[in-house]
Amino acid sequence: MGEEQRGTWQELLARNREAFESGTDLTVAVEEEFALLDPETLELTNRFESLKEAADQTDFADHVVGELIASEVEIRTGRCNGFQEAAATMQQRRSQIHALAREQQLALGATGTHPWSRWQDQRIIDTPHYRRNDELLRYVVWRNNTFGLHVHVGIAGADRAIAVHDALRNFLPEVLALSASSPFVEGVNSGLHSARTEIFTRMFPRCGIPDAYGSWQTWEDYVAFLYRTGSITEHTQIWWSVRPHLAYPTVEIRIADGQPDLAEAQSLAAFCYSLAARCARAHDEGETLPSLPHRLLEENLWRAIRWGLSGELLDFERGESVPARARLEQLLDWVAPVADELGTGPYLAIAERNAAERQIARFDEGATLEEIYAEQVRAGQPIGG
């Protein structure tokens, strides 16, 4: 690696540290990934470029981006100063992208996986970034036909951002259990509540639950090591399920499945935002938070993948299993003080059944995958759309 390349990533790290030190606390942005579908068959269809060309003629062009395959689109709220703004923008972006998709004779899906479309039939979009990932990852990137929801939370202070990151990793299985929406893939009932997570986090390098770093310097040393050894060529090749972002002064929560229903997407985003704010509050007030080893968090992550909200998660303080819903209720109680201040309280709720549970129940009733997916696609359409 030449001096110019070394200078590039070193400058990136220096800029990023400064961005966190001078950043604005508790901004929020939400990114949602959608499947592009043939409206008649609901098969994945490689139409991103035509959709993006149409989006470029609108006033929300900058908030519509490609995400790996040509049968996928991502919409972004952009940075919001509070959750009320973020929730309203999520609704607006969904309405905008659905209207644009209808004009292009497309439908949109938002479960974490497509129930039957073959990954072999999907095309990687032709951008320098995704060409590099295609060459680097090959089968791993071809297989990743998955759809998620990401939440960026602005955290002021570099070491403080790492403290929030380290705390959030403890709660990733709970976020996944709440969000699970992908029981069906490759034409079968996978037996999982989040097949998306099994595909993505188990195949990609530098993915899943990361280590705790303890300080910004340790995080920076890790990223520098990856660049210096040629393990990565750009910072977006760090795919951990929570990460300090290297382009924005945010901590990004990336574990969640996509959400068919807008209200549940807003609720999930509110939960992630509230968790991050509560972790920041705990750090500021000297509250001791767990720093659980990876081996224990992996046990809960597997339980969330396999059984979602219908199963049990490990309570490490008590050393026993508890119903996942009870664990989520505990966390809602824990974040309640900041939720009141942030205005997220009205959005925080645990559905009687989340998207995975609803789909599995319909399957058990005898509905076909096609019927179930059509119901999820309809559930995601804006009222009056």
Query: What is the full DSSP assignment across 115-184?
Result: SS--GGG--B--SHHHHHHHHHHTHHHHT--B-EEEEEEE-SSHHHHHHHHHHHGGGHHHHHHHH--B-E
* Residue 142: Cβ within 10 Å count: 16
**Binning pLDDT at 50, 70 and 90, where does residue 3 land?**
very low
Residue ranges and CATH numbers for the domains of the chain are 3-379 (3.30.590.20)
Which H helix or E strand runs over 30?
A: strand 28-37
Q: Which residues contact 383 (CB under 8 A, 6 or more apart)?
A: none
Q: What is the mean pLDDT of residues 48-61?
A: 96
Q: pLDDT at residue 1 above 60?
A: no
Q: Which among 342, 25, 339, 292 has a CA at the least distance from the CA of 152?
A: 25
pLDDT at 23: 94
The owner of tokens 């109680």 is 333
pLDDT at 385: 56
pLDDT at 383: 74
SS3 316: coil
Rounded to 10 degrees, what is the CA torsion of 299, 305, 306, 312? 60
Q: What is the mean pLDDT of residues 330-357?
A: 96
**Binning pLDDT at 50, 70 and 90, where does residue 2 land?**
very low
Helices and strands (DSSP H and E) totals, the chain: 14, 13
- Cα–Cα dist 91/380, whole Å: 11
Mean pLDDT over the full length of the chain: 95
Contact 43, 145 (CB under 8 A): no
| Pair of tokens at residue 189 | 């009932």
Rounded to 10 degrees, what is the CA torsion of 324, 330, 336, 342? -30
pLDDT at 184: 98
Q: What is the mean pLDDT of residues 68-87?
A: 97
| pLDDT tens readout for residues 248-288 | 999 999 999 999 999 999 999 999 999 999 999 999 999 99
Q: pLDDT at residue 111 above 70?
A: yes
| pLDDT tens readout for residues 292-328 | 999 999 999 999 999 999 999 999 988 999 999 999 9
Q: pLDDT at residue 127 above 90?
A: no
One-letter amino acid at 65 equals: V
**Model confidence, pTM:** 0.96
Contact 273, 344 (CB under 8 A): yes
Contact 108, 96 (CB under 8 A): no
Q: What is the mean pLDDT of residues 13-31?
A: 96
| Pair of tokens at residue 349 | 């709720």
Contact 331, 174 (CB under 8 A): yes
- Cα–Cα dist 254/149, whole Å: 7
Q: pLDDT at residue 4 above 50?
A: no
The owner of tokens 């973020």 is 86
- Cα–Cα dist 362/189, whole Å: 12
pLDDT at 131: 87
Q: pLDDT at residue 160 above 60?
A: yes
Q: Of residues 328 and 289, which shows the higher confidence score?
A: 328
Helix axes 262-285, 158-168, angle to 10 degrees: 120
| pLDDT tens readout for residues 183-220 | 999 999 999 999 999 999 989 999 999 999 999 999 99
Q: pLDDT at residue 368 above 80?
A: yes
- Cα–Cα dist 100/225, whole Å: 43
pLDDT at 7: 62
Q: pLDDT at residue 39 above 90?
A: yes
The owner of tokens 């200078």 is 7
pLDDT at 129: 86
